[in-house]
Amino acid sequence: EAGVTQFPSHSVIEKGQTVTLRCDPISGHDNLYWYRRVMGKEIKFLLHFVKESKQDESGMPNNRFLAERTGGTYSTLKVQPAELEDSGVYFCASSPRGFNEKLFFGSGTQLSVL
Amino acid sequence: AQKVTQAQTEISVVEKEDVTLDCVYETRDTTYYLFWYKQPPSGELVFLIRRNSFDEQNEISGRYSWNFQKSTSSFNFTITASQVVDSAVYFCALSYNRGGSNYKLTFGKGTLLTVNP
């Protein structure tokens, strides 16, 4: 069974540009989460989808970040325009519907904004 | 507010040594969940264990063991007879139950464990 897949694994962009990160959860997982780790800090929650609906987006830093989940399958996280402080590792995780024991994480996208 | 503290930023041991990774948490919730995740060099976070706040039994899984003590708000992780393959960043995390959003995890900063041959 394929795990959570994130693309790209690395992205280097200049300040002011737009970047779109993609996450393919494990097939059949209704729950999808985005987390971010900024250098030297904790991994922090960004948002949670249940199928295509945003359940909780309280962790989104500002309106330069837009997350979508098309048809309850894959998800994208767009940063527009990117700022220097957006640099970090963006993790995606998924879990099946209902009460779950664990999240399945992807390997993350390393975003560097220069 | 929730908080997880992993005071050890980096630990280096020699293979076969035992090592304990510390985790201290803060929460006002009576029902909560504690986790440990491992991040090997490949980057993904690998689930190791989940404990709920009502289950203070210690757990052992092979060379891994976990010591949960509510009295000291700690959830420490011990690797016995460490191996080079245990080298990774280990994260302790905490979550709570809020209307179905069980898995809004609060992470510690992680502990980088290096096991030298």
Confidence label for A108 from pLDDT (cuts 50, 70 and 90): very high
Confidence label for A23 from pLDDT (cuts 50, 70 and 90): very high
Helices (H) and strands (E) in chain A, counts: 0, 11
Chain A: residue whose CA lies nearest to B93: A43
The reported pLDDT for the residue numbered A9 is 95
Tens of pLDDT along B64-114?
999 999 999 999 999 999 999 999 999 999 987 666 556 688 999 999 999
The reported pLDDT for the residue numbered A21 is 98
Check CB contact under 8 Å for A55 and B100. Answer: yes
Mean pLDDT of the residues in chain B: 91
List CB contacts (< 8 A) between B44 and chain A: 3-4, 105-108
* Distance separating alpha carbons of residues B26 and B68, to the nearest angstrom: 13
* Distance separating alpha carbons of residues B26 and B75, to the nearest angstrom: 11
For the ranges A76-90, B30-44, B73-87, which has the lowest average pLDDT?
B30-44
Tens of pLDDT along A61-75?
999 999 999 888 999
Phi/psi at A67 (5° precision): -110, 140
* Distance separating alpha carbons of residues B43 and A5, to the nearest angstrom: 12
Check CB contact under 8 Å for A55 and B104. Answer: no
Distance from CA of A37 to the nearest CA of B (A): 9
Distance from CA of A10 to the nearest CA of B (A): 12
Query: What b/e string do you get for A71-104 counting C-beta neighbours within 10 Å, with b at 16 or more?
Result: eeebbebebeebeeebbbbbbbbbbeeeebebbb
Q: Extract the tokens encoding A106.
A: 């992807």
Check CB contact under 8 Å for B104 and A48. Answer: yes
What's the average model confidence in pLDDT over B40-53?
A: 90
Is the CB of residue B59 less than 8 Å away from at least one CB of chain A? no
Select the residue from A43, A105, A110 to test the B interface by mutation, using most B Cβ atoms within 10 A.
A43
Chain B: residue whose CA lies nearest to A43: B107
Name residue, tokens 């203070």: B56
What's the average model confidence in pLDDT over B4-8?
A: 96
**pLDDT above 60: residue A3:** yes
* Distance separating alpha carbons of residues B1 and B57, to the nearest angstrom: 25
Confidence label for B60 from pLDDT (cuts 50, 70 and 90): confident
Is the CB of residue B46 less than 8 Å away from at least one CB of chain A? yes
